[in-house]
Chain A
Amino acid sequence: MANTKGGPVYTGLRKIPDRVLLLFAGLIYLFLYAPIMVLIFFSFNSTKNTQVWTGFSTQWYGELIRDTSVFNALKLSLTVGLTATAIATVIGTLTALALSRYDFRGKTFADSAIYAATVMPEIVVGVSLLVFFVAATIELGIVTIIIAHVAFCISFVTIVVRARLAGMDRSVEEAAQDLGATPVQTFLRVTLPLILPGVMAGALLAFTLSFDDFVITFFVAGVGSSTLPLQIYSMIKFGVSPVINALSTVVMISTMVLILGGSRFLSRGENA
């Protein structure tokens, strides 16, 4: 096989070690997907049993739709997710611009703080925010959930947008300014459209992180407000039920559609 440019090359699966590798890869994929498939399969079971197949039914989906606490949790999750994503995307994009365009005293500290926010264990972030909110007598609820979600999303947006800015050709910006555009015009008409795929990818990441977050939300939610993950957790604690299987199926398929749709949309943006 011609390989003059380097990079990985497809050498076929003629040799025995390669066949062992293929078998191994198949088993890993089975391991990754079988539990999810079992979960989805039993969401269509006709009895309350999540273990023994008794026949096909969609009754658990009907029960799910009628469950008002699930519906309220979904509403809260969407409100929190959209609000936190909007705020975190704006702040993260501004931060990425500052970090990639300026050299300033304290930049190393800013970099480490942003990196630390991504690697700090969630449980530590969760309890420290709980302590802080209680000490500051801020009532736990939707506001504290949004504040916490923005705090952990900013860093991820910053990292994604900064990567996009690093790959950008700055001469277009200079050209715009030479032609008399103000800094704000340059940003809105030149820079922003060019980094938009990165900003959208950051927003998508932020929304997914917010929508899925359990641990931090668990500590800052207080008693009255349940996001979807909190609702699912209390349902699991209450006992295994095919309704949870049905809810899992809906959540997993929605996430999949969002990610697949998002990545197609983004790859179109990359090519443009």
Chain B
Amino acid sequence: MGKGGRGWSLGLAGLLSPVTIWLGLFFLIPLLFILAYSFGKSGVYGGITLGFYPSNYLKVFNPLYLEIIVRTFVIALTNTFLCLVLGYPLAYFIAFKSGRHKNILILLVMIPFWTSLLLRAYAWVVILGGNGIANRTLQFLHITDHPLDLIFTPQAVIMGMVYSYLPFMILPLYAALEKFDSRLKEAAQDLGASRWQTFWRVTFPLSMPGVIAGSILVFIPSAGEFVIPNLLGGARIVMVGNLIQQQFLEARDWAFGSALAVMLAVLLVGAIMFYVRRVGSEKLEEV
């Protein structure tokens, strides 16, 4: 191991060439491929003619597809908001009120975090299914007298998403709150702030890095989600992820599928940058 330093050297080239080859060849170049395909034209038998045809992008404005795109963002935003609202109090509780049980409580959040998303979606397929536990509980409580359509609804998809992504929100929130210096809270209260004021003017703004990190970790995968709407939304609640999958594996319109994928990537990266800038700068003004 050299002492490091500035500029290129043989040692540095040696360290970096494997990652350059692997990520270049199997991450960046494939992205350029779908960018090129997105401007191509799909043939009848799934072949593709490269060129510069904007028609794939214009197709997105077809009301049928526009509805799917809007639905995707509404579901992903709702999920992010619900995870924040449900996750924040829990992260706050673990960070400030759990005393000596702190480690076990955070471990209990990490276990579902490490459990396969597919299996956690399956749990809800069983629970919300035709004669599932949810329906039987509702009938037992006399809320309804016949099984309701719980699965294959937007609510089922959101339920599955909140369940799957909640730990992704709690962990960064906890990490941010855990670093919090309680003397700041005491100072605010000594200066006459109520508990409520202290929270909104001191604790919450200082936990902003956790809120941003958690929101990104939840929003990105839920906007690109394809398993949960597939299992819990069925043919009725289609999201962009399902639409892309259909273009590639069923309709074999790879040009349109590529255009959708490029758009999803650009919109998500754009959304993150906008969010980090906005919320980030407000946070700076606050300090």
Contact = CB atoms under 8 A, between A and B. Distances in A.
Interface of A: 3, 6-13, 17-18, 21-22, 24-25, 28-29, 31-33, 35-36, 38-39, 42, 50-51, 90-92, 94-95, 97-98, 101-105, 110, 113-114, 116-117, 119-125, 127-132, 135, 147-148, 150-151, 154-155, 158, 173-174, 177, 183-184, 186-187, 191, 208, 212, 214-215, 219, 229, 232-233, 236, 240, 244-245, 248, 251-252, 255-256, 259
A174 B3 CA distance: 8
B23 A259 contact: no
Interface of B: 1-9, 11-12, 14-16, 18-19, 22-23, 26-31, 33-34, 37, 86-87, 89-90, 92-100, 105, 108-112, 114-120, 122-127, 129, 131-133, 136, 163, 166-167, 177-178, 180-183, 186, 195, 216, 220-221, 223-224, 226-227, 231, 241, 244-245, 248, 254, 257-258, 261-262, 264-265, 268-269, 272
Nearest to B8: A104
A154 B254 CA distance: 28
B248 A121 contact: no
A32 B109 contact: yes
Nearest to A92: B19
B143 to A, nearest CB: 18
Contact of B1 (A31, A158, A187): A187
- The 4 A-B pairs of least Cβ separation, nearest first, read A121-B224, A101-B4, A128-B30, A132-B30
Contacts of A232: 116, 118-119, 122
A119 B220 contact: yes
Contact of A125 (B14, B15, B27): B27
B158 to A, nearest CB: 13
Given A98-B15, A124-B264, A127-B248, A91 B22 contact: yes
